[in-house]
Copies of this chain bind each other. A is one copy, B any other.
């Protein structure tokens, strides 16, 4: 009999309890033993709950009970989660979490701590919700080298962009709709729409792919606030859609570059057909070529089921899982992990006619439609910055720049 403690009884935490009970029999068979929740840590009052006797308001109760072998962390953030998870791992208890901020900021340290203390730190649910992604990446691709990851990892912005694309909503209307449906935060939707959530997720994927901690703060990150329905129409005329893409790529020097930005995505790409709140992540292996994982990126029971699958894995494999699920801590990189390679670019201009602005760029074409925009065929980011200064010297401003995703 394995005893589990759940830290934080919100949406995902309560889902974990539900999944463990609903599928108790099959979980027990697969874990090799019954799995039972012994404690739930939450400072709120659950005295009226049928499970009132499980609740505690201090981590010490859990740390003092040797029966507890696995801890589920679904508090979120790092203020409490980080010290609690550290304490659990230091006591040799495996931890399974859905907390992407915790993993993106402290993953290398917590993995190392787990290895040292003979337990596992697992976080499949931190990226892609319930969609299997990290496990296939480190386990099924264990004989390969991952050279690139690119994908749609934020369901909220993908929903908004889909509504803008299909129904002509502008950013504000799309955001209101996402808030009404509960997909976006009402108070501050910035984590989603400004790309910070996606940056945390690609930081985790880039860390796993590169073998070194990649921090979100070193990833150039831009959200979707600047995108208009006119941009959508112009993209369509180029056979593309606009998607918020999180990407990480191994360069010729072995160093990884990464970014989060709205991009032009060819309709021929599998990523283009990922709509609404779905996530799609393309992983490129040197041997394997392209593999795509697609599914809902959020949701209580899907995410909770991924956490419970990790609980099973922790019970079976323990610290051994970190032979493949592993990256090293490094001093945070100075500056940004930008990619200096040339690309094609969509450029929308204000205050200067696109036909006139074209002279500021290399080979390019003026796009038809309402957007006063150019397609630049091939330029480096440095050349694009120089061209932007020329546009300003000519009295205009660059309102939006979108790189074209290379397949």
A residues whose Cβ falls under 8 Å from a Cβ of B: 19-20, 23, 26-27, 29-32, 124, 130-132, 135-136, 139-145, 270, 273, 285, 287-296, 299, 301-302, 304-306, 308-309, 311-313, 316-317, 320, 323-324
CB distance B30 to A323 under 8 Å?
yes
CB distance B296 to A293 under 8 Å?
no
CB distance from A191 to the nearest CB of B (A): 23
The one of B29, B270, B301, B311 in contact with A287, judged by C-beta atoms closer than 8 angstroms, is B301
CB distance B140 to A136 under 8 Å?
yes
In Å, the complex CA distance between A287 and B308 comes to 12
The one of B23, B135, B141, B324 in contact with A145, judged by C-beta atoms closer than 8 angstroms, is B23
Chain B positions within 8 Å of A309 at CB level: 139-144
Q: Which of A20, A27, A289 has the most CB of B within 10 A?
A: A289
Considering the complex, give the chain B residue whose CB is closest to the CB of A289. Answer: B296
CB distance from A97 to the nearest CB of B (A): 15
Chain B positions within 8 Å of A313 at CB level: 139, 142
In Å, the complex CA distance between A320 and B308 comes to 18
The one of B23, B135, B295 in contact with A139, judged by C-beta atoms closer than 8 angstroms, is B135
Give the number of times this chain occurs in the complex, counting copies.
Answer: 2
CB distance from A114 to the nearest CB of B (A): 15
Chain B positions within 8 Å of A295 at CB level: 288-292
CB distance A145 to B296 under 8 Å?
no
In Å, the complex CA distance between A142 and B96 comes to 15
CB distance from A153 to the nearest CB of B (A): 15
> Given known contacts A273-B273, A312-B324, is B131 in contact with A291 (CB within 8 Å)?
yes
The one of B131, B306, B311, B324 in contact with A30, judged by C-beta atoms closer than 8 angstroms, is B324
The one of B143, B312, B317 in contact with A143, judged by C-beta atoms closer than 8 angstroms, is B312
The one of B20, B136, B289, B299 in contact with A136, judged by C-beta atoms closer than 8 angstroms, is B136
Chain B positions within 8 Å of A299 at CB level: 289
CB distance from A294 to the nearest CB of B (A): 4
CB distance from A70 to the nearest CB of B (A): 13
Considering the complex, give the chain B residue whose CB is closest to the CB of A211. Answer: B26
Chain B positions within 8 Å of A273 at CB level: 270, 273
Considering the complex, give the chain B residue whose CB is closest to the CB of A312. Answer: B142
CB distance A287 to B141 under 8 Å?
no
> Given known contacts A30-B323, A30-B324, A287-B301, is B306 in contact with A140 (CB within 8 Å)?
yes
> Given known contacts A139-B309, A289-B295, A294-B270, is B32 in contact with A320 (CB within 8 Å)?
yes
Chain B positions within 8 Å of A304 at CB level: 143, 287
CB distance A291 to B289 under 8 Å?
no
CB distance A23 to B312 under 8 Å?
no
Q: A23-B143, A30-B142, A142-B313 are in contact. List 6 more A-B contacts (CB 8 A).
A: A27-B143, A130-B285, A135-B140, A270-B273, A292-B293, A317-B317
CB distance B323 to A144 under 8 Å?
no
Closest 4 CB pairs of A and B: A132-B140, A143-B308, A132-B136, A292-B294
In Å, the complex CA distance between A313 and B142 comes to 9
